[in-house]
């Protein structure tokens, strides 16, 4: 008989259980199969091998010599597979891959992540950043920090912080033009990224709807954190989220001339695949970061999350 080239993995699994338990019925109970289905899989395997593997006797089955040769090797192979799967699962649960926007990563996450690692010393963290929204189905990532409205199909989203914005600059730059007393005074300075829609929204809310930003030289640094560095260096006034720069404000490197803040409805969100919500490492990171942003709230209440429909 010509041997099939197809590798009968399912039949081998049934054979291993039957040989170990000495019964078609017990093997079926363990595997959740009927006795008829077990018998069918054994017949398929015997056709593949070209020899009978069991002697069928009333109320019992017994391995043939061919079956006795095959059984220990199949058992060893499945043990190797079980060890491999356990090792992969352990590795998967001890490595957390985080994707974040550059500004959130540099201005908040990098400064706080150490407390997560102290709480979870067995989890190795890897952080990647980009302004693009990562596709969980195409990229290897466990959780992400995104800016938006929280409505992403197939993902669970937890709000972290509101993205408020206001003009900020170096105090020395403000002094160089005699101080900033009214919102219109900002137009005396170089505007960092005048094409950012936050600027026009803020100026309009501040009573300066006629601010001519379109005629100014276009400049885009690619991330808010870079614009903040430029502002600290006195290269202009940037529109920033003050919560990201508490140290720079406290040390006098950044100055917020007006209390007025704008908001375009966006927030920062913790995001992960809804199907993986019960992963221990994802639950651990979720509980930690929600507690960091809302210590008085229970981070163990994920029911407040936004779960977008597929």
**251 phi/psi in degrees, rounded to 5:** -90, 0
CATH number of 95-162+265-307: 3.40.190.10
Contacts of 159 (CB under 8 A, 6+ apart): 150, 267, 268, 269, 306
Over 70-128, what HEC string results?
A: HHHHHHHHHHHHHHHHHHHHHHHHCEEEEEECHHHHHHHHHHHHHHHHHHCCCCEEEEE
- CATH 3.40.190.10 describes domain 164-264: yes
For 93, 98, 139, 143, 223, the CA distances from 87, given in Å and listed in that order, are 10, 22, 22, 22, 39
pLDDT at position 166: 97
Whole-angstrom Cα distance, residue 223 to residue 232? 15
pLDDT at position 88: 61
Q: Regarding the domain delimited by 9-92, which CATH topology (the fold level of the hierarchy) does it fall under?
A: Arc Repressor Mutant, subunit A (1.10.10)
Query: Where are the extended beta strands (E) located within 130-280?
Result: 143-148, 155-168, 238-240, 262-273
pLDDT at position 300: 40
Among candidate residues 243, 244, 226, the one with its CA nearest the CA of residue 235: 226
Whole-angstrom Cα distance, residue 73 to residue 2? 22
- Look up residue 216 and give its two tokens: 């100014």
**113 phi/psi in degrees, rounded to 5:** -60, -25
- Look up residue 101 and give its two tokens: 């926007």
Among candidate residues 77, 23, 20, 11, the one with its CA nearest the CA of residue 48: 11
Whole-angstrom Cα distance, residue 159 to residue 145? 10
Tell me whether domains 9-92 and 164-264 share a fold. Answer: no
Low-confidence ranges of the chain (pLDDT < 50): 1-4, 296-303, 308-310
For 165, 206, 218, 232, the CA distances from 186, given in Å and listed in that order, are 15, 11, 17, 16
Q: List the domain boundaries for the chain.
A: 9-92, 95-162+265-307, 164-264
Would you say 210 and 200 are in contact if contact means Cβ atoms under 8 Å apart?
no
Output the CA torsion sign for 85, 88, 94, 95: negative
**156 phi/psi in degrees, rounded to 5:** -95, 130
Neighbouring C-beta atoms of residue 143, cutoff 10 Å:
23
pLDDT at position 296: 40
Question: Residue ranges of the alpha helices (H) in the chain?
Answer: 9-21, 24-31, 35-49, 65-93, 102-104, 110-119, 171-176, 197-205, 224-232, 246-250, 280-293
């Amino acid at each position: 008989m010509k041997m099939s080239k197809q590798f009968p993995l399912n039949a081998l699994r049934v054979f291993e259980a039957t040989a170990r338990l000495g019964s078609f019925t017990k093997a079926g109970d363990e595997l959740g199969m009927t006795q008829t289905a077990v018998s069918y899989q054994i017949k398929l395997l015997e056709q593949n091998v070209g020899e009978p593997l069991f002697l069928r006797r009333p109320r019992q089955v017994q391995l043939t010599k061919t079956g006795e040769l095959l059984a220990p090797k199949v058992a060893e192979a499945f043990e190797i597979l079980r060890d491999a799967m356990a090792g992969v699962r352990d590795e998967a649960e001890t490595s957390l891959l985080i994707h974040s926007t550059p500004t959130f990563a540099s201005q908040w996450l990098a400064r706080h992540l150490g407390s997560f690692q102290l709480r979870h010393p067995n989890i190795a963290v890897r952080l990647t950043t980009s302004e693009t929204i990562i596709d969980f189905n195409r990229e290897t990532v466990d959780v992400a920090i995104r800016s938006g409205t929280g409505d992403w199909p197939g993902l669970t989203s937890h709000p972290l912080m509101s993205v408020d914005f206001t003009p900020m600059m170096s105090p020395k730059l403000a002094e160089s033009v005699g101080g900033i007393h009214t919102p219109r005074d900002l137009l005396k300075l170089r505007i960092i990224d005048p094409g950012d829609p936050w600027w026009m929204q803020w100026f309009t809310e501040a009573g300066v709807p006629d601010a001519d930003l379109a005629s100014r030289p276009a400049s885009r640094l690619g991330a808010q954190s870079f614009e903040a560095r430029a502002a600290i260096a006195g290269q202009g006034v940037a529109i920033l989220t003050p919560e990201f720069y508490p140290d720079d404000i406290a040390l006098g490197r950044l100055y917020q001339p007006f209390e007025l803040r704008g908001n375009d409805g966006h927030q920062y969100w913790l995001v992960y695949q809804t199907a993986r919500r019960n992963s221990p490492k994802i639950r651990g990171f979720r509980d930690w970061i929600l507690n960091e942003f809302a210590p008085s709230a229970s981070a163990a209440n994920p029911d407040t999350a936004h779960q977008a429909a597929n």
